[in-house]
Amino acid sequence: MQVVSVSSLKGGVGKTTVTLGLASAAFAKGLRTLVIDMDPQSDVSAALASRSSHGYSVDSVLNNTSSSVVRQAVVPSSWTGPNDIPVHIMMGSPSVSAHDKPTPTKQELWKLEEALATIESHYDLVLIDCPPSFNGLTQTAWTAADSVVIIAEPGLFSVTAVHRTLLALQAMRLKMSPRLRTAGVIINRFRPDSPEHLFRLEEMKQLFGDHILEPILDETLTLQQSTGAAVPIHRWPGEPAQTIARYFDRLLVKVLVEERV
């Protein structure tokens, strides 16, 4: 089981949309996939969940890491049909914000790792959708993760956020998890007709080098449409959707196999 945290220390860059795109690529590849919603906004839960979790959520899991609680917090996604390899969701909840402390204890940081150990044999891939901050929830996700993929858009504040995220990853390796690796930076919402986007993209390539993962994801309504319809991009009709699906196929391979410091 590989555990990947999808992160950004800046909001509004399409982190949840990219999480769903990577999950769709894993689904198409036949990987048993679990998506964990660590963001108090719970957007990925809204996009994936098909039925009530009876009140259990990632908040419940961080309070009690027993296998019974973990199993009740995980539900089938709306993507998964009777004959499909499962995509499951560990439900998010606004109440998880209680765990988003600026200075969590080491015991608190290990909670998700402990919970995932109880279901390790059930999944090939876990994707954790993190909140856009470096408080307790993101640190807990990173402690449980094998790697972190950083989501950015081609803008000035995203350039700064990527730099801060790379520094935070270095700090986490020293503090909690020496195995934690940087999977790379996915550039999202790129507009090739924008001089500002072209400039910032070139700036990020110069600053972050081979951390930048290809292909770059253009800004498009197609992803928003498939997300709103609760359909994986790999099953959304039309050539634009299939082009995006192929992009996510390539990005997933790079996220899972490439290692950067």
Distance CA 73, CA 84 (A): 21
Q: What is the DSSP letter of 41?
A: T
Contact (CB, 8 A) for 12 and 161: no
pLDDT at residue 39 above 70? yes
Q: Which two tokens stand for residue 204?
A: 């990020």
What's the CA angle centered on 106, arms 101 and 112, to 5 degrees?
Answer: 80
pLDDT at residue 258 above 80? no
Contact (CB, 8 A) for 149 and 7: yes
Amino acid at 94: P
The per-residue pLDDT for range 127-172, each reduced to its tens digit, is 999 999 999 999 999 999 999 999 999 998 989 999 999 999 999 9
- Quick one: CATH architecture of 2-257? 3-Layer(aba) Sandwich (3.40)
Pairing relationship of beta strands 87-90 and 74-76 according to DSSP bridges: antiparallel
C-alpha distances out from residue 238 to 48, 79, 178, 223, Å: 21, 18, 43, 12
Q: Which two tokens stand for residue 31?
A: 């990987």
Q: What's the helix, strand, coil split of the chain in %, to 5?
A: 50, 15, 35
The per-residue pLDDT for range 184-214, each reduced to its tens digit, is 999 999 999 999 999 999 999 999 998 999 9
Length of the chain, in residues: 261
Q: What is the DSSP letter of 219?
A: P
Distance CA 132, CA 149 (A): 13
Q: How far is it between the farthest Cα atoms of the chain?
A: 53
Residues in Cβ contact with 48 at an 8 Å cutoff, skipping those fewer than 6 apart? 20, 23, 35, 77, 78, 79, 87, 89, 230
DSSP structure string for 88-104: EEE---GGGGGG--SS-
Residues of the chain with pLDDT > 70: what percent? 97
Q: Which of 21-25, 83-87, 221-225 has the highest mean pLDDT?
A: 21-25
Q: Is the pTM of this model over 0.85?
A: yes
pLDDT at residue 228 above 80? yes
Domain boundaries, the chain: 2-257
